[in-house]
Structure formats: structure tokens, C-alpha cells
Amino acid sequence: MILWHFPPKNLSLRKDSLHIWRADVDLPIDLLTALAVNLSWDERQRADRFYFERDKKRFIACRGLLRMIISHYLDLEPYKLKFTYSPRGKPELDNNHTQDRLCFNVSHSQNLAVYAIALNRAVGIDLEYTRPLSDLQQLAERFFSPSEASIINALPEAQQQEVFFRLWTIKEAYLKATGEGLAGLQSIVVSFTRENTINLYNIENNVLLNSHWFCTEFNPEPEYKGALVAERKDLEENTVEYFTLTTDYILNH
């Protein structure tokens, strides 16, 4: 059972551990304004391109909170953080001047955001709001492998949605960790053992990926599915910590 708790005052990150944060991105306007001050010019430009004001505010909150979280690990003011982006858009720190490389990944859905923070290991995280999908079977056949789509289609209707979102979040978290992007959805196959162990396969190379990649699932709220994939490097379930980012923590740090 996953326990979400408040972060300690003296936040530290070991090389053999990983931190997952959850945060509400529907924030009051005064807090949102304070976070927006730390955004870069290009982040503000991206925020202004959103058509709906709600989406703009959520983007500002998501990026502003990311900067705040990372700043605690690096002891650097949030506005001083600089990001670079891979050809597929994955952000990385450009001014990480510590001995160990701080790695991170972000995902948000509806009013929630999740953040994965680690040292010296590639990491990907995905979060999905589990809303009903009228075209679920078509989506499975389009984006999943034939075996995965067949499994979903054979399930009772009540179970199809849960399994679809479990597969989707795990596969997308893996593709974010590797930087491959959604184009690789069909090349990765996910299966579950009776003990609920998650197996990751690369069907193009016929390789089981578990020895190199760690994978776990989490539910930050009842109607959300989340998944994390990271380079294993001695990472285990009991070395992943789960933090809740509260308004009080934001205001006092």
C-alpha cells in the first residue's frame, strides 16, 4: 500500500531512491501569480498559447511547481533554473552544477500533476484521469500491440477501462523515460503476472526489459492512474517515496 506523506523540512535524495510528488494545479490566483514570476520567457509564451484560461492556469501551476520542487534539491532560486529539450520535447536541466545529475519527469491530467525526481537515472512518469472512453477498443487496436488489444477486447466491459489505462500509463511512462515518444507505443508490450509483477517487453528485439528498467504503479487520487518507469540501478519499491505538495508547503518554502 502506497502512503503519501508531507515532505520533510530537510529534503534530501539518495542515489538509490526516487521521489514522486503529487500536487493540485487548480490553485488560487495569488499563489498562481507568485509561481508565474519564476517562469522563463518561453514558458510564458507557451502559457499564452492556450485557448482556454483554465488550461493556461494549470500549465503555469504545473511548471511553477516543478521549478519550486527542483529548487529545493539544488538549493537554487526557482527562476534561475534553465531547461533544455530533446527533439521529442522531453525537458532536462541545463544548469545542474552538482556532482550528481538530477533527473526529473512531469505529467498532469485534469487538476492533478505528478513529478518524479531522481539522481543519475533516466525516469518517466505518466498520469491519466480515468474517464469513460466510447472508442476504447479502437484506441487499443490503434496504439497497442495486437496481443494487448485482444486481451482488452476479451475482458468484461467493466474491466476494459481499468486495464486500458494501466497499460497506457505504463507504456507512456517507459517511452518518456527512454525519450522515444508515443511513436513507440506498439513496440512495447506490458503483461502482468499472477503476483501482479509488471513485465516490459520490446517485441521488435524480443527482449525482456525488467533487468534494466524499474516499473511501478500508483493512484494519487481514486479516479487517476499513474505509472513510473526508471532505470533500475538498485531501485526497489521500498526506496520510492511519495510526497504530497500542499499549499502550506508552497507558501513556506
Note whether 113 and 238 are same-domain residues. yes
Both 54 and 104 in a single domain? yes
Same domain, 90 and 133: no
Alpha-carbon gap, residue 237 to 216, rounded angstroms: 8
User: What confidence score (pLDDT) does residue 95 get?
Assistant: 64
For the segment 233-247, the average pLDDT, to the nearest whole number, is 89
Q: Is residue 27 scored above 80 in pLDDT?
A: yes
Count how many domains the chain has: 2
Q: What is the CA 41 to chain-centroid distance, rounded?
A: 24
If asked whether residues 86 and 134 sit together in one domain, one would say no
Tens-place pLDDT, residues 168-210? 999 999 999 998 877 777 788 998 887 778 999 988 878 889 9
- Which residues form the domain of 101? 18-121+234-251
> Which of helix, strand or coil describes residue 60?
helix
32 with 98, same domain?
yes
Average pLDDT over residues 248-252: 72
Domain CATH for 61: 3.90.470.20
**Which residues, including other chains, have CB under 8 Å from residue 101's CB and lie 6 or more apart?**
93, 119, 120
Does 59 share its domain with 133?
no
Report the chain's C-alpha Rg in angstroms: 18
Rounded Cα–Cα distance for residues 213 and 178 (Å): 10
Same domain, 156 and 178: yes
The per-residue pLDDT for 98 is 66
Q: How many CB atoms lie within 10 A of CB 86?
A: 10
User: Do 109 and 30 belong together in one domain?
Assistant: yes
Q: C-alpha grid cell for residue 226?
A: 499513474
Same domain, 115 and 27: yes
Per-residue pLDDT of 120-129, as tens digits, reads 999 999 999 9
- State whether 167 and 207 are in the same domain: yes
Tens digits of residue pLDDT in 133-158: 888 989 998 888 888 999 899 998 88
The amino acid at 123: V
Model pTM? 0.94
Residues 115 and 238 in one domain: yes
